[in-house]
Structure 1
Amino acid sequence: MMLAYRLLTAEDSSAFCHKVTEALSKGWALHGSPAYAADPATGVMRCAQAVVKEVDATYRPELTLGSL
């Protein structure tokens, strides 16, 4: 078993909420609190949320975490 980790990021919008909700519906669990920061290049707020999932796999750098 392996604990997989992903950091989901996007602009602060409903699309970000849908991205996190989709991960939760696929068995990922929230890890820590969300983070918000201003993106000086675009002038918008960006969100980040870490998620984790225990999977029956062996870690490999080429592993596509979103497909777990």
Structure 2
Amino acid sequence: MNRINPAKLLLSKWTATAPKNKEKHFLVTELFRDEENTVLEIELQAVMTRRTQRLAWQTLQDADHWTMGWK
């Protein structure tokens, strides 16, 4: 399990452990917060294709799917 501080996720780099469509490296490009400034979701952008996806930040804690940094 990856230990993550959600407030420091912006512009962090991630590697997918099982890449699809040649999308292996990702960058967190946006944080979505609630009224209390708590991070709820993030926007991940694939470096190669520039495709974006929005997902809960807790998804990045799953070490079976994501690794911190670009490897």
Please confirm whether the aligned pair reaches a TM-score higher than 0.5, indicating the same fold. no
Instruction: Return the index of the structure with the highest Cα Rg.
Output: 1
Structure with larger RCO (C-alpha < 8 A, sep 6+)? 1
Name the structure where helix makes up a greater proportion of residues: 1
TM-score by length of 1: 0.28
